[in-house]
Structure 1
Amino acid sequence: MNMEEHHSLDTVFSCVIPYIHDVDDRNSLSLVSRKLYELDGITRKQVTVHVHYLRNPSRLSQRFPNIKSLTLIGLWYATLGLKIKISPWIRELTVSCKVLKQLVICDMYVVDEDLELLGRTRGKDLRVLKIEGGNGVSKSGLVHVAKYCNQLRTFCFEDDFIDRVDICGNWLRELALHNKVIESLHISTLFDDTDVNDLTLLAKNCSKSLVSLKISPCSHSLVSLKTSRRCSLSKLGEALRHAVKLEDFDGAYFDEDDEFIGFKFPLNMRCLDVPIWKFYIPRMYVEDRGLQVVGQFCKKLRKLTYGGRATHMGLIALAEGCLNLENLDVTLLDISNEALDCIGTHLKNLGDFRMNLCKEDGITDLPLDSGIRALLNGCSKLESLNINLCPGGLTDIGLGYIGKYGHNLKFLSLTYVGESDAGLVGLSKGCPKLRELVMMSCPFNKPSVTAIVFNICSLRYLWFCNQYGDFVATRQDFEVSLKSCVLLLIILVFSTFC
């Protein structure tokens, strides 16, 4: 290729690459040549960083100087003391990333000082701010967000330990006073009457923009149904009256004893999560009827989280009725191969499936090997699979099926699966796109797991836990330890023959 043709090709790529948005496509292109690597760096607008791989934040701005959207992800399974601090990243953002509009922080340790610095330096430019698992944040930190980030369109805050501190208070009033353009407000919080007044003020001031409002306690909060301070729906009538464009609402409960005369929902309401308030529910209450009703009437449903302790019969009714489901999270008392086969047959768009079996005895249709095979065969778009079973739920054959048919899996979490290292070998021969693997209470040992599963070339990190303890490993850790073993072997051989 002569210089003129080379220059023409560079020109073509310079024009085309800004229109390539898929992350995997861009990653592949950046490996072709130095020129494409540089083009990708200066044109990429959205970046996701797993911070335990990149400990030097300055590398981010050097590689991608023009990003508008940044997602920082820590280790979601790390304990509070092991979570990576956000502070170095916030300091880097104050001097770089001048055009940043969206910041998402997941499972990192965030403190009030971090939010104050972020608000002072980048607050006026941010349009989206999401904090999930910000364990070090208090009311003071959220006040800084409310004061300085006055052009936010989306604000989400979820604290894994929401019962540890009540983060509501004057910050919500500050947000209502300083921001007139909020479109989505999602906060996992404990709510009281004072907060209702502030929420009503916010709905009034943002009446022309607010389309999504979620104020419920987070799903993994330790607050029980009895003690969580969900607000009664009847008390939010004034707020909902002002929010004329609201389409999505979650966070109140329906009490049959309340007064609802004159109460109206906004006309544009599309998604509503308002449970009936029940204090006393039998622990093992079977709720197949709920899934049957959903399957019968919610034909366009795309996402469902159901903790009602149903059985395989309810799951079958749901799969046969809600053919458009993309995300399904269910808690079950019983499961069968037939139910998993039914999911594979009907839910062709399913991309995220989580199944939690909360009962260990009395389940007759085990193992679920054939069901898992049918599920993966049918749900070709499945990228995330989380199955929490009971002992004997899946054999080595089933693990092999996951490896063979899990072509698009990127996240895999398994509990009580497998019998021997043969299952791990079968798993490691497939799953070409798997990036994260979680194994709980499985009959394997640490050396076998690390030696076998990292044969999956795409795997980036592993969390393994059994009765003897748990450990976290990344590919970088594995490669370093492997090189050390090779070096030690060379030294031993050399010392033997020399």
Structure 2
Amino acid sequence: MNYFPDEVLEHVFDFITAHRDRNSVSLVCKSWYKIERYSRQKVFIGNCYAINPERLIQRFPGLKSLTLKGKPHFADFNLVPHDWGGFVYPWIAALARSRVGWLNCFPDSCTSLVSLNFACLKGDINLTVLERLVARSPNLKSLRLSRAVPLDVLQRILLRAPQLVDLGTGSYVHDPTSEAFTKVKAAFQKCESIRSLSGFLEVTPRCLLAVHPICPNLTSLNLSYAPGIHGNDLIKLIQHCKKLERLWILDCIGDEGLSVVASTCKELQELRVFPSDPFGGGNASVTEEGLVAISAGCPKLHSILYFCQQMTNAALITVAKNCPNFTRFRLCILEPTKPDHVTSQPLDEGFGAIVQSCKGLRRLSMSGLLTDKVFLYIGMYAEQLEMLSIAFAGDSDKGMLYVLNGCKKLRKLEIRDSPFGDAALLEDVGKYETMRSLWMSSCEVTLGGCKTLARKMPRLNVEIINEGDQMEFNPDDRQKVDRMYLYRTLAGPRKDAPEFVWIL
């Protein structure tokens, strides 16, 4: 390979798309490092404190796409304080000079736009400028709109961009008997290229009739932000989507609706069922019956996120037999320590069946009543596991040690409200060099244990987070820490930590 010109190698590298493979290529030799550096256009940063933006820009001067993660994963459950850090502004300041009138920043000569996503932006936008931008972008394939884009503008955009493959709608509220609805329905009928549909941030259920013509071609449907769609309207929509490979939906679909998905969507590969009311006291509308139906009807399923009200070992064992190709299995029972609701036993055997049957499992999230036994199963059978999230589980330090000793490819471990302490934390500190991060909150870890870890592993950042009850300058080492976040870094200790974050 060293005899090939750099231009040839750069063209070969274009076919290497996985971030991990690109990283490996750059380590082969200095020549490959240089070629990969200048040809790399997409970068994934799993922890914004693992590197600073200036070093990233220096390393990859041709960067066009950056995926950046800030707060630890448990931030989604309000366990990480709001002002803990993970601020995106330093990255924005380093990557761009201004965000002011951003639509006007596209010059009239710009006709190469491929993807535009502003679904999460609040406030008004210049609709006229948006329409002109879409009209002069014949290569636009993906467009995600915010609530600020009304139905009549959507109709005109669809007429100007019939080549769209991925569409996210904004405000979809209108009278189905109106002229605007008739026009948008006609516009959808001309969009034969759309394969991915999402959005419906505001929706009148009867307006869904307008998208029925494109449903037979859809491979991806995301209704996780559409609480206004439920019942028969939702089921009728799903029945038109026979080619779906990816479905994100709220639990208001119910077990009956999931049975319809199972009988209709034989190509389904990824399913996420979110709680329509995550703070409603465990009133999820789906149970183990819906999960079993999906596993029986969708043999190609390999990734699932399932929020439910109850679960049984028998159901999990059946799911493991029906879908041995799972690479991601995340189950969240809204009552976190609830046992098998039929036998009142822990769910160890059910999750044990998952890790034993699914040989390629890379990501696992568990809930329900669990003992150390399930961690023994994980350490024995989950050979490919890279990320594990657990809560309210285990009996002793043995549980955590089973995982750390057995899962050789583990990269991220997230633990909350579990009885693991210093013995498990310090048993094999060298393991953390091969991991991206470890999060522990409301466990039995002490300040002294964290200090010992920091001394032994100076290349790791060890953060103690004690919001409210802040530690004194020289507190008792036997004091339990509220939250501990450990991660690898090339940038050293971060400099923007608030007062309640102590970096050891």
TM value normalised by structure 1: 0.67
Q: Which runs of 5+ in 1 are unaligned?
A: 96-112, 158-166, 218-228, 258-262, 282-286, 482-498
Q: Which residue of 1 aligns with 2:419?
A: 443
**Paired AA for residue 341 in structure 1:** I
Counterpart-to-counterpart distance in 2, 1:295 and 1:265: 10
Cα displacement string for residues 281-325 of structure 1 (whole angstroms, at most 9, x for unaligned residues): 9xxxxx655555554554332223346655545544443332211
Cα displacement string for residues 105-145 of structure 1 (whole angstroms, at most 9, x for unaligned residues): xxxxxxxx73744861688654224468x5xx422368699
Q: Which residue of 2 aligns with 1:485?
A: none
Q: Is the contact between residue 308 and residue 334 of structure 2 (CA under 8 Å) also seen in structure 1? A: yes
Of 275, 280, 298, the residue aligned with 1:322 is 298
Helix, strand or coil: the match of 1:462? strand
Q: Is the contact between residue 341 and residue 374 of structure 1 (CA under 8 Å) also seen in structure 2? A: yes
Q: Is the contact between residue 238 and residue 261 of structure 2 (CA under 8 Å) also seen in structure 1? A: no
Superposition pairs of residues 484-495 of structure 1, within 5 angstroms: none
Q: Is the contact between residue 130 and residue 156 of structure 1 (CA under 8 Å) also seen in structure 2? A: yes
Counterpart-to-counterpart distance in 2, 1:328 and 1:403: 21
Q: Which residue of 2 aligns with 1:186?
A: 168
Counterpart-to-counterpart distance in 2, 1:43 and 1:28: 14
**Paired AA for residue 56 in structure 1:** N
Helix, strand or coil: the match of 2:83? helix
Superposition pairs of residues 457-496 of structure 1, within 5 angstroms: 457-466=433-442, 469-476=482-489
Of 272, 279, 303, the residue aligned with 2:270 is 303
User: Shift of the alpha carbon at 1:247?
Assistant: 6.6
Counterpart-to-counterpart distance in 1, 2:251 and 2:62: 49
Of 383, 393, 409, the residue aligned with 1:433 is 409
Structure 2 vs 1, CA of residues 318 and 14 (structure 1 numbering), >3 Å: closer, same or farther?
A: closer
Between the aligned residues of both structures, percent identity stands at 25
Structure 2 vs 1, CA of residues 366 and 32 (structure 1 numbering), >3 Å: closer, same or farther?
A: farther
Counterpart-to-counterpart distance in 2, 1:265 and 1:394: 35
Q: Is the contact between residue 154 and residue 185 of structure 1 (CA under 8 Å) also seen in structure 2? A: yes
Counterpart-to-counterpart distance in 2, 1:80 and 1:197: 45
Q: Is the contact between residue 427 and residue 453 of structure 1 (CA under 8 Å) also seen in structure 2? A: no
- RMSD of aligned Cα (Å): 4.7
Superposition pairs of residues 213-292 of structure 1, within 5 angstroms: 213-217=197-201, 230-232=203-205, 234-237=206-209, 250=223, 251=226, 253=229, 270-271=243-244, 291-292=258-259
The reply on whether 1:153 has 2:147 as its aligned counterpart is no
Cα displacement string for residues 194-241 of structure 1 (whole angstroms, at most 9, x for unaligned residues): 999888767766744544332245xxxxxxxxxxx5422x23445666
Q: Which residue of 2 aligns with 1:105?
A: none
Superposition pairs of residues 43-442 of structure 1, within 5 angstroms: 43-50=39-46, 52-53=48-49, 56-75=52-71, 76=73, 77=75, 78-82=80-84, 84-94=86-96, 114=99, 116-117=101-102, 120=105, 125-130=112-117, 137-140=121-124, 146=130, 150=134, 151=137, 152-156=140-144, 168-170=147-149, 180-181=160-161, 182-186=164-168, 192-193=173-174, 207-208=190-191, 209-217=193-201, 230-232=203-205, 234-237=206-209, 250=223, 251=226, 253=229, 270-271=243-244, 291-292=258-259, 294-296=261-263, 298-306=265-273, 309-312=285-288, 314-359=290-335, 360=338, 363=341, 364=343, 366-389=345-368, 393-442=369-418
User: Shift of the alpha carbon at 1:17?
Assistant: 3.4
**Paired AA for residue 379 in structure 2:** G
Q: Is the contact between residue 312 and residue 347 of structure 2 (CA under 8 Å) also seen in structure 1? A: yes
Cα displacement string for residues 237-270 of structure 1 (whole angstroms, at most 9, x for unaligned residues): 456669997676645636779xxxxx99999874
Helix, strand or coil: the match of 2:440? strand
Cα displacement string for residues 364-414 of structure 1 (whole angstroms, at most 9, x for unaligned residues): 35333343333122212222211122xxx3222322332332222232211
User: Shift of the alpha carbon at 1:332?
Assistant: 3.7
Q: Is the contact between residue 302 and residue 325 of structure 1 (CA under 8 Å) also seen in structure 2? A: yes
Query: Highest relative contact order (Cα 8 Å, sep 6+), 1 or 2?
Result: 2
Cα displacement string for residues 60-113 of structure 1 (whole angstroms, at most 9, x for unaligned residues): 333223344432222251554345343443444448xxxxxxxxxxxxxxxxx7
| Residues paired across the two proteins, number | 420
Structure 2 vs 1, CA of residues 14 and 244 (structure 1 numbering), >3 Å: closer, same or farther?
A: closer
Q: Which residue of 2 aligns with 1:106?
A: none
TM value normalised by structure 2: 0.66
**Paired AA for residue 165 in structure 2:** E
Q: Which runs of 5+ in 2 are unaligned?
A: 276-283, 444-480, 495-504
Q: Is the contact between residue 247 and residue 266 of structure 1 (CA under 8 Å) also seen in structure 2? A: no
Structure 2 vs 1, CA of residues 329 and 140 (structure 1 numbering), >3 Å: closer, same or farther?
A: same
Q: Is the contact between residue 242 and residue 264 of structure 2 (CA under 8 Å) also seen in structure 1? A: no
Q: Which residue of 2 aligns with 1:100?
A: none
Q: Is the contact between residue 50 and residue 489 of structure 2 (CA under 8 Å) also seen in structure 1? A: no
Q: Which residue of 1 aligns with 2:279?
A: none
Structure 2 vs 1, CA of residues 14 and 380 (structure 1 numbering), >3 Å: closer, same or farther?
A: same
Q: Which residue of 1 aligns with 2:278?
A: none
Counterpart-to-counterpart distance in 2, 1:404 and 1:68: 42
Counterpart-to-counterpart distance in 2, 1:242 and 1:313: 30
**Paired AA for residue 372 in structure 1:** F
Q: Is the contact between residue 216 and residue 243 of structure 2 (CA under 8 Å) also seen in structure 1? A: no
Q: Is the contact between residue 400 and residue 426 of structure 1 (CA under 8 Å) also seen in structure 2? A: yes
